[in-house]
Structure formats: structure tokens, C-alpha cells
């Protein structure tokens, strides 16, 4: 009898242990599954990727840089790091403006640009002297100014951003492409504006096809140009392809041969980029670069179209901080007055 009981007790004990083991495994499978899901999804580090945005702060235009930064910062939850590029004489002003306004919360680095790198590379052009300002050429030297980032956004100062800058940063660059731009023929809604102000949107408007060096490039003059006021750049490819050296080569050739600075487009910073990046760039979503807002003091886009736009660019002579200009209300939404009082908006009656 005692033997029979002891065997039953042993069997009962084994049964209990088996049930416990099954329950233990069931309970511990749940955290394991959750763990796998966590691994498959984005980690917090990936989600917090830093987005570097380069904007220049030029003398007399600092309010433009401030409005651009304000619009970007206000419309995103992304981790943006602003590289504010200036000359030695302008840096103290922009730093104080940022630190003594609501922009003091932004992450930013002030970078000094040394104009000596341009010595002997710029042909003087009296018709548009403002295009020869040293900071117009900062975009040529991005890898020298921005060291640690693989991908960088460069923006002209005369823009505002109405969308989430993360979308622009997520622009896909094809393998082997060092940059993405907006094509000047990309958006049908802008064609009427371009025609009405006589703006050029092909290579013919920027390069002098009477010169043999330009004809030797083999680029059709009717090829659509692109606008380098908004750039998404891959720094690894930029350095690998020696883009800066290529741009400098064409700057020097223009000094010697006058290949583009006197032509209709007047784009002394645009033209070398059109040559170097021809056929080797990716494209930006057209709504992320609605431009030509500064080409006429009275030609306007529809309000609905502008509300849909992610980024507005007042390229041209008529800037929204000056008078006359168009759609100034959209720009002023983001302007922050200069605490020092040095920069003032030009308005009727002011």
C-alpha cells in the first residue's frame, strides 16, 4: 500500500511540475514577443535623428534668416540643428537676435564663413552686385562647414517653411547623387507666373551659348534648369565626387572667359551648379519649393495654392521684408522683430 501511494504521489508531483512548466512558458512568451516587436520598429535613437539645416545670415537680410528659422522651428517636432552661417562682422548681431527672442529655445551653431576662399573666383558684375555677396556661395562649401552629418538641408534666407521639415529631409537621393533640387519645369501651376515675369527656366537663361566652352558641354540650351535655393545634399557623395573643386573650377573659368555672369539669368551662384550637377541630381517634391514670389511686385499666386505649399521662396528682386513685394502677410507670420532695433521692415509710409 505504501509503495502504491508513493508512486501515485510521484506521478501527481510530476503532473503538477508539468503544468507549472507550461504556465511558466506561456507567461514568459509575452515579453519575448514584445521584445521582438521593439527591435523591428524604430528605436528612440533613430526617431531622434538630428536634421541639420544651413541658413545664411547676411548683413541687411538678417530678418530673412530669422523668419526662415522661426517658420521651420514652429512647424516641426523633429530634432533640428540650425547652422547659421555669417561673416565675422555679422555674427554677433544674429547671435544676439536669436538669444534674446523666442528663438532662444532652438538648437543652433553659428559658423563663420571666410570670404577669402572666393578670392580670384568671382567675376564682378555691376548689374546685380547683390548676387556677388560672399554668403551666396556658402552652398558650394557645405562639407567644409558641416563636418559630422551624412545628409544636410541648405535653404536660402528668403524662404518660409509651412510644412514639416522632416518631410524634406526624407527626400530620397538616388545612388551616386550628391544633391536633390527642384526642377524649374516641375510644377504646371507656376508656369503662368514664370511666363508673365519673363523668367528663364532653361539653361539658355543662365549660360552663354556663344562661348565654345559652354557648347562643348553638350547640354541642350532648352534643358530645364533647377533652383539651388533649396538643396538636400549627401555629404559623402559630395566629397567623393569633389563637387566643391568642380564648382570652383567653373567659377575660375568664368573669371577668365565670362561664361555666364552677364547672361539673362544673372545667376553667378546658380550657373556653376547647373553645369556640375547636370543629369546627376535627384528631385525634390515640387510643393517643397514654390518659388518666383519675388520676381514681380504685382504677380500673385492663388491663396489656395499657397496654403497647400510646403515651402515658399521669394527669389527675385522683390523681397517680402521690403516694399513693394507680394504675399508679405505669409512671410510676416514668422518674422520676429530685431531686439536691437537695427533691422526694420520697409512698408508703405514707414
CA 54 to chain centre: 7
Listed in order, strand segments (DSSP E) in the chain are 50-56, 79-86, 107-112, 151-155, 159-161, 179-183, 226-234, 282-283, 311-313
Concatenating the DSSP letter of every residue in 52-69 gives EEEEE--TT-HHHHHHHH
Q: Supply 145's cell numbers.
A: 562647414
Dihedrals phi, psi of 231, to nearest 5 degrees? -130, 135
Domain ranges of the chain: 51-186+226-238+281-333
3-state secondary structure of 279: coil
CATH number of 51-186+226-238+281-333: 3.90.550.10
Q: What is the pLDDT of residue 6?
A: 64
pLDDT at 176: 97
> What's the confidence (pLDDT) of residue 184?
86
pLDDT (tens place) for every residue of the chain, 350 residues total: 444 456 667 666 677 677 666 655 544 443 332 333 333 334 444 456 999 999 999 999 999 999 999 999 999 999 999 999 999 999 999 999 999 999 999 999 999 999 999 999 987 765 666 667 899 999 999 999 998 999 999 999 999 999 999 999 999 999 999 999 999 886 656 666 655 555 678 898 889 999 999 999 999 999 999 999 999 999 999 999 999 999 999 999 999 999 986 555 556 899 999 999 999 999 999 999 999 899 889 888 899 999 999 999 999 889 999 999 999 999 999 999 999 999 999 999 87
For the record, the C-alpha cell of 243 comes out as 563637387
Supply the pLDDT for residue 44: 45
Strand-pairing partners, residue 155, are 55, 230
Number of Cα atoms under 13 Å in the Cβ half of residue 185: 7
Of 95, 129, 115, 35, nearest in space to 338 by CA: 95
Q: Tell me the CA distances in angstroms from 3 to 6, 17, 50, one per residue in order.
A: 5, 21, 73
Q: How many CB atoms lie within 10 A of CB 336?
A: 15
Q: Which cell goes with 301?
A: 499666386
Contact status, residue 268 vs residue 135, Cβ threshold 8 Å? no
The backbone torsions φ and ψ at residue 146, rounded to the nearest 5 degrees and listed phi first, read -115, 110
Is 237:178 a contact under the CB 8 Å cutoff?
yes
pTM reported for the whole predicted model:
0.84
pLDDT of 194: 58
Q: Report the alpha-carbon distance of residue 261 to residue 251 in Å, rounded.
A: 10
Amino acid at each position: 500500500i505504501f509503495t502504491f501511494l508513493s508512486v501515485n504521489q510521484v506521478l501527481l508531483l510530476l503532473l503538477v511540475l508539468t503544468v507549472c512548466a507550461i504556465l511558466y512558458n506561456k507567461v514568459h512568451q509575452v515579453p519575448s514577443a514584445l521584445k521582438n516587436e521593439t527591435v523591428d520598429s524604430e528605436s528612440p535613437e533613430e526617431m531622434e535623428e538630428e536634421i541639420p539645416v544651413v541658413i545664411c545670415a547676411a548683413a541687411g537680410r538678417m530678418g530673412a534668416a530669422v523668419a526662415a528659422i522661426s517658420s521651420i522651428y514652429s512647424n516641426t517636432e523633429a530634432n533640428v540643428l540650425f547652422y547659421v552661417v555669417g561673416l565675422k562682422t555679422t555674427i554677433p548681431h544674429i547671435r544676439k537676435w536669436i538669444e534674446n527672442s523666442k528663438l532662444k529655445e532652438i538648437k543652433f551653431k553659428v559658423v563663420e564663413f571666410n570670404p577669402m576662399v572666393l578670392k580670384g573666383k568671382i567675376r564682378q558684375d555691376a548689374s546685380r552686385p547683390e548676387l556677388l555677396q560672399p554668403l551666396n556661395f556658402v552652398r558650394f562649401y557645405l562639407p567644409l562647414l558641416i563636418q559630422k552629418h551624412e545628409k544636410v538641408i541648405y535653404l536660402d534666407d528668403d524662404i518660409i517653411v509651412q510644412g514639416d521639415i522632416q518631410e524634406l529631409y526624407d527626400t530620397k537621393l538616388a545612388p551616386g547623387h550628391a544633391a536633390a533640387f527642384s526642377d524649374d519645369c516641375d510644377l504646371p501651376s507656376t508656369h503662368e507666373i514664370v511666363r508673365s515675369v519673363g523668367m528663364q527656366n532653361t539653361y539658355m537663361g543662365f549660360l552663354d551659348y556663344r562661348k565654345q566652352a559652354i557648347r562643348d558641354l553638350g547640354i541642350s540650351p532648352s534643358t530645364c534648369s533647377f533652383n539651388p535655393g533649396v538643396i538636400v545634399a549627401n555629404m559623402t557623395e559630395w566629397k567623393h565626387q569633389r563637387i566643391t573643386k568642380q564648382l570652383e573650377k567653373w567659377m575660375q573659368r568664368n573669371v577668365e572667359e565670362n561664361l555666364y555672369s552677364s547672361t539673362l539669368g544673372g545667376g553667378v551662384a546658380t550657373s556653376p551648379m547647373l553645369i556640375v550637377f547636370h543629369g546627376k541630381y535627384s528631385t525634390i517634391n515640387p510643393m517643397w519649393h514654390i518659388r518666383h514670389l519675388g520676381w514681380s511686385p504685382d504677380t500673385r499666386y492663388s491663396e489656395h495654392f499657397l496654403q497647400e505649399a510646403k515651402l515658399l521662396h521669394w527669389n527675385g528682386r522683390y523681397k517680402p521684408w521690403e516694399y513693394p513685394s507680394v504675399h508679405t502677410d505669409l512671410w510676416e507670420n514668422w518674422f520676429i522683430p530685431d531686439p536691437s532695433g537695427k533691422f526694420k521692415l520697409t512698408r508703405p509710409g514707414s
